[in-house]
Amino acid sequence: MTNLDLGVAGYHLNKPEQTFLQDQNQHLPSRLVAHANLEHVINEQMVWNTNIIFMKQGVTDYFSVGSSIGYFLTEEKGIMVNAGLWYWKNNSIIPYMGISWQQLQMGFSFDILTSKLNQAAQKSSAFEFSLIFRGDRGKKTKHMYVIPCPWK
């Protein structure tokens, strides 16, 4: 089974005024976002997922791409472990580890800086713990409502 999600969004298309002093020349630039996510069930125990996102607002842009693999430890309880790696354009590499059990998912990620911030006296690395609870999707599957993708 393979799932593909694609999306495009636009924000501030009317370029609203963004000023405290009522300066009519200060406008919030439009922001465009595009993303794609591909999920593929390799076999009964493994799921591969990859995604990409691109954002642009004014002269600033953001690009990230990555992939993960999920492995079901037990089919009866729907326990899955995930590991993946993402690249954030001109900034960092981001490893991810996670575990899912039924409708609960926990994860940990950490930025490994590749930008000039890595040379700073006080490095600005970030780490993130995530906790996700998914409601009943109304369709019971072999793996008890577990969605293999670590970020959906």
pLDDT of residue 140 exceeding 70: no
150 lies in some domain: no
Instruction: Give the chain's domain count.
Output: 1
Q: How far is CA 45 from the centre of its chain?
A: 22
Give the sign of the dihedral formed by CA 53, CA 83, CA 70, CA 1.
Answer: positive
33 lies in some domain: yes
pLDDT of residue 147 exceeding 60: no
* Distance (Å, whole) CA 124 – CA 127: 10
26 lies in some domain: yes
The SS3 of residue 95 is: strand
Q: Degrees (nearest 5) of the Cα angle 37, 109, 133?
A: 70
Residue of higher predicted confidence among 33 and 45: 33
At 117, give phi and psi (nearest 5°).
-60, -25
Of 54, 56, 52, the C-alpha closest to 38 is 52
146 lies in some domain: no
Summarize pLDDT for 70-129 with one digit per residue, the tens: 998 876 667 889 999 999 888 889 999 999 887 788 999 988 878 766 555 555 667 889
Domain extent, residue 125, equals 2-133
* Distance (Å, whole) CA 84 – CA 95: 6
Q: What is the pLDDT of residue 12?
A: 87
Q: How confident is the model at residue 13 (pLDDT cuts 50, 70, 90)?
A: confident
> Strand (E) positions, the chain?
2-11, 31-41, 46-57, 60-74, 79-88, 92-101, 104-110, 112-113, 127-133
pLDDT of residue 137 exceeding 60: no
Query: Residue 111 burial by CB count (10 A; 0-12/13-18/19+): exposed, middle or buried?
Result: buried
Residue of higher predicted confidence among 119 and 147: 119
Q: What is the pLDDT of residue 8?
A: 95
